[in-house]
């Protein structure tokens, strides 16, 4: 078991140097109708179903450091060459390294939508982070909630805490002017308890996606090792 806030700090030491952050790949991707994607190194969770592999589990030995300006330039070039209108960070947790992320957002033109895919933990931990993000009008945040409740969160991530911050991030985003939606990973067919939670916090109308877990070979191997693969078939 681990504490995701402590793990965020430890990960920061590995993946941040001044305002530079580690990335391991830049690519055009077909999601969202076509999107320029930067795959980042490092995360504050260890989801058992994560496809990212080394980008999460081997942050020390993978990737290179890039300044926010360099990342912006690469993303803008990909978007321009492919005719995309969206850019995103994927592969790890982009909210680790607040200054880097804010500077990166400042370098993305307003006519491109920046999709921030996050587990929301650092946003729920510190309301000022959400406030700082709210000045970017081209930002859309996709918060991926791990599990319908704390018990499933712990089962899926192995973390001792953090679920309350995931939910808190939704409340903070609700009160900000930031565009956002919710994605949900669950092994349960019945996500009613989570829908009830959304109702309680006034988000019954929020767009909710059920994320499908892809059983890539390394994901399959990890789930088999944990003896939980049957939950994901
Ligand atoms: S939060 Fe995302 S990147 Fe991090 S371990 Fe979970 S699935 Fe992987």
For the segment 71-90, what is each residue's pLDDT rounded down to a tens digit?
999 999 999 999 999 999 99
Check residue 216 and give its pLDDT.
84
Interval between CA 53 and ligand 1 midpoint (Å): 9
Check residue 144 and give its pLDDT.
97
Q: What is the pTM of this model?
A: 0.95
User: Which parts of the chain have pLDDT scores under 70?
Assistant: none
φ and ψ at residue 110, rounded to 5 degrees = -70, -20
**Which of ligand 1's atoms lies nearest the C-alpha of 46?**
5
Instruction: Determine the straight-line distance between the first and last CA of the chain, rounded to whole angstroms.
Output: 25
Mean pLDDT of all residues in the chain?
Answer: 94
CATH of domain 4-226: 3.20.20.70
The helix or strand, by DSSP H or E, that contains position 15, with its residue range, turns out to be helix 4-15
Who's near 217: CB < 8 A, 6+ residues apart?
Answer: none
| pLDDT tens digits along 168-185 | 999 999 999 899 999 999
Ligand 1, atom 6: closest residue by C-alpha:
47
Tokens of 61: 């030995």
Check residue 63 and give its pLDDT.
96
**Which of ligand 1's atoms lies nearest the C-alpha of 119?**
1
What angle is formed at CA 20 by the lines to CA 89 and CA 132, rounded to 5 degrees? 65
């Amino acid at each position: 078991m681990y504490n995701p806030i402590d793990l965020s700090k430890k990960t920061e030491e590995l993946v941040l140097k001044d305002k530079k952050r580690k990335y391991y790949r830049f690519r055009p991707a077909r999601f969202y109708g076509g999107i320029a994607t930067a795959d980042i190194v490092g995360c504050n969770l260890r989801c058992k179903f994560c496809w990212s592999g080394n980008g999460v589990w081997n942050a020390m030995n993978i990737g290179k450091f890039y300044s926010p300006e360099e990342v912006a330039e690469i993303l803008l070039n990909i978007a321009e060459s492919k005719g995309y209108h969206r850019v995103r960070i994927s592969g790890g947790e982009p909210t680790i390294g607040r200054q880097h992320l804010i500077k990166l957002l400042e370098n993305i033109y307003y006519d491109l939508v920046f999709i921030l895919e996050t587990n929301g933990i650092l946003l729920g931990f510190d309301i000022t982070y959400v406030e700082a993000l709210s000045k970017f009008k081209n930002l859309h945040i996709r918060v991926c909630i791990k599990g319908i409740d704390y018990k499933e969160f712990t089962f899926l991530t192995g973390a001792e805490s953090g679920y309350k911050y995931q939910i808190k991030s939704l409340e903070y985003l609700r009160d900000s002017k930031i565009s956002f939606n919710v994605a949900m990973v669950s092994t349960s067919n019945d996500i009613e308890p989570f829908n009830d939670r959304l109702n309680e916090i006034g988000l019954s109308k929020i767009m909710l996606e059920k994320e499908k877990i892809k059983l890539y070979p390394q994901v399959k191997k990890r789930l088999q090792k944990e003896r939980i693969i049957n939950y994901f078939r």
